[in-house]
C-alpha cells in the first residue's frame, strides 16, 4: 500500500505543469519548443511551436506549424495558424473565428501517452535571449524576443519518440503472438551470450557481401529484394528477445513490475528509448548539459545496437526460436 501511495504522489507531481505565457503585444522571432509545460499564446510567434506533455491556449497568431503532443489544444476566436496544425495524444477545441490555413491532424497515443509523463520539463528558450530595452519597446508598443535558432530542434526528439512508440508496440505484439519462440531466443542470449553476439555480428558484416554476390549473379538479382526484406524483418524480430533480457533485469531490481514475458519485453525496449529521449532533451542549448545529453544519446544508441546484434544472433542459433540451447 505504501508503494502505491508513493507512486501515486510521484505521478501527481509529474502531471503538474508550469505555464509559459506570451502576453498580448509580445512577438517571438524564432521557433518555440516547450517540454512539460503548458503555453498561453496571446501575442505572435514568427516560427513553429511544438509542445510536448503540455496544453496550448492560443489567442494570438503563429506563422509556422503547430504541434501539441500529449496535451490538449484550445484555439479561441481571433487566433490564427498559418501552417499545419497537429494534436497527438490529446483533444482539440476550436472556436468559430479561429483560423488554420494548413492541414489539421488528430491522432491518439493510447496507453503510450503515460510514457510522456516521465519526460522532465525543460525550457523552451535553449539559446541566447535578447530583449529590446524598455524605451524602444514602449515606442513600438510591443516587446520582441529573439531566440537563437542554434538551440534545441524538436523534430529529432519527436522522431525518436514516435519511433520508440512504434517499435515498442510491435515488440508487444510479437511477444503476444509467438511467446515460446521469443523465450527460446532469449535463452540463447542468457546462456550463450558470446555465441549470440558473434553470430549476430557476422550476420551484420556479411550482409553487404551477400548482396554483392547476388548482384553479380543473373539468377541472384531477383532474390535481392526478398533477401533485404528478410534481413529487415529479422532485425525487427531481434528486438524481442533482447528487450526481454533487459526486462528481466529490470524485474529483478523493481519487484512491482509485471511478470509477463511480453510486458517485460515491451518495458525493456521502452527503457532504451526513454534514455534516448532524455539524452536528446538534455542536448538542447550550449551548456555542459548539452555534452552530457550527447553522451547519454550515444549510450542509448549503442544499447540499441547491442539489442539488434544479440537478438539477431539468437535468431540464427535458435533457428527462429524453434530450439533451445
145 shares a domain with 209: no
Give the pLDDT confidence score for residue 213 in this predicted structure. Answer: 87
The three-class DSSP label of residue 165 is: helix
Q: What pLDDT does residue 155 have?
A: 66
Residue 53 DSSP SS3: coil
Range of the domain at 106: 18-149
- Residues 202-237: tens digit of each pLDDT: 999 999 888 888 888 777 788 888 988 999 999 999
Same domain assignment for residues 205 and 137: no
Using the 8-state DSSP alphabet, how is residue 50 labeled?
Answer: E
Same structural domain, 25 and 134: yes
Q: Which single residue is written with the C-alpha cell 538542447?
A: 284
- In terms of domains, do 174 and 262 share one? yes
State pTM to two decimals.
0.57
Burial of 136: CB neighbours in 10 Å, binned 0-12, 13-18, 19+: exposed
Query: Domain check: are 170 and 245 in the same one?
Result: yes
Question: Is 266 a member of any domain?
Answer: yes
- Note whether residue 5 is domain-resident: no
Verify that 67 and 175 share a domain, yes or no: no
Q: Are strands 143-147 and 129-131 parallel, antiparallel or unpaired?
A: antiparallel
Give the count of domains, the chain: 2
Predicted pLDDT at 289: 57
Verify that 141 and 161 share a domain, yes or no.
no
Kindly state whether residues 87 and 163 are assigned to the same domain. Answer: no
pLDDT at res. 144: 47
pLDDT of the residue at 43: 87
Query: Is residue 165, in this structure, part of any structural domain at all?
Result: yes
Same-domain status, 126 and 257: no
Out of 130, 149, 168, a domain closes at 149
Q: In 205-269, at which residue ranges do the beta strands (DSSP E only) sit?
A: none
12 lies in a domain? no
Is 6 part of any domain? no
The chain-wide mean pLDDT, for the chain, equals 79
User: Within a domain: residue 114?
Assistant: yes
**Are residues 228 and 282 both part of a single domain?**
yes
Q: Which of 120, 149, 178 is the last residue of a domain?
A: 149
In this prediction, residue 290 carries a pLDDT of 63
Digit-by-digit pLDDT tens for the chain (325 residues) are 344 334 434 444 444 456 788 888 788 877 777 777 888 998 888 888 888 778 999 999 998 888 888 789 999 999 999 988 888 878 899 898 899 998 888 877 665 566 566 555 554 443 333 444 444 544 544 444 444 444 445 667 778 888 888 899 999 999 999 999 999 999 999 999 999 999 999 999 999 888 888 888 777 788 888 988 999 999 999 999 999 999 999 988 888 888 899 999 999 999 999 888 888 777 655 445 566 777 888 899 999 999 999 999 999 999 999 999 8
Q: Are residues 222 and 142 in the same domain?
A: no
> For residue 322, is it within any domain?
no
Residue 254 located in a structural domain: yes
Contact of 313 with 305, CB cutoff 8 Å: no
Same domain, 142 and 166: no
* Predicted local confidence at residue 158, as pLDDT: 78
- pLDDT, tens only, 5-55: 344 344 444 444 567 888 887 888 777 777 778 889 988 888 888 887 789
By residue count, the chain amounts to 325
Amino acid at each position: 500500500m505504501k508503494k502505491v501511495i508513493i507512486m501515486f504522489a510521484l505521478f501527481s507531481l509529474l502531471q503538474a505543469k508550469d505555464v509559459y505565457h506570451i502576453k498580448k503585444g509580445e512577438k517571438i522571432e524564432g521557433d518555440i519548443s516547450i517540454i512539460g509545460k503548458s503555453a498561453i499564446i496571446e501575442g505572435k510567434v514568427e516560427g513553429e511551436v511544438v509542445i510536448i506533455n503540455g496544453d496550448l491556449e492560443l489567442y494570438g497568431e503563429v506563422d509556422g506549424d503547430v504541434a501539441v503532443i500529449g496535451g490538449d489544444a484550445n484555439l479561441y476566436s481571433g487566433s490564427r495558424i498559418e501552417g499545419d496544425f497537429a494534436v497527438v495524444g490529446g483533444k482539440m477545441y476550436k472556436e468559430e473565428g479561429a483560423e488554420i490555413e494548413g492541414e489539421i491532424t488528430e491522432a491518439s497515443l493510447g496507453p503510450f501517452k503515460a510514457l510522456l509523463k516521465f519526460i522532465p520539463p525543460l525550457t523552451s528558450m535553449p539559446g541566447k535571449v535578447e530583449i529590446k530595452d524598455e524605451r524602444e519597446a514602449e515606442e513600438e508598443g510591443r516587446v520582441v524576443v529573439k531566440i537563437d535558432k542554434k538551440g534545441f530542434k524538436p523534430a529529432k526528439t519527436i522522431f525518436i519518440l514516435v519511433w520508440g512508440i512504434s517499435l515498442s508496440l510491435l515488440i508487444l505484439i510479437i511477444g503476444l503472438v509467438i511467446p515460446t519462440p521469443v523465450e527460446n531466443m532469449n535463452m540463447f542470449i542468457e546462456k550463450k551470450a558470446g555465441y549470440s553476439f558473434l553470430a549476430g555480428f557476422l550476420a551484420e558484416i556479411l550482409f553487404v557481401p551477400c548482396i554483392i554476390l547476388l548482384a553479380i549473379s543473373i539468377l541472384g538479382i531477383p532474390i535481392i529484394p526478398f533477401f533485404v526484406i528478410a534481413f529487415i524483418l529479422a532485425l525487427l524480430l531481434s528486438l524481442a528477445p533482447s528487450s526481454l533480457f533487459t526486462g528481466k533485469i529490470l524485474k529483478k531490481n523493481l519487484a512491482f513490475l509485471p511478470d509477463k514475458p511480453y510486458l517485460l519485453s515491451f518495458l525493456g525496449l521502452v527503457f532504451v528509448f526513454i534514455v534516448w529521449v532524455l539524452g536528446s532533451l538534455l542536448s538542447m542549448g550550449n551548456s555542459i548539459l548539452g555534452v552530457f545529453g550527447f553522451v547519454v544519446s550515444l549510450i542509448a544508441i549503442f544499447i540499441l545496437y547491442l539489442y539488434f546484434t544479440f537478438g539477431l544472433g539468437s535468431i540464427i542459433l535458435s533457428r527462429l526460436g524453434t530450439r533451445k540451447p
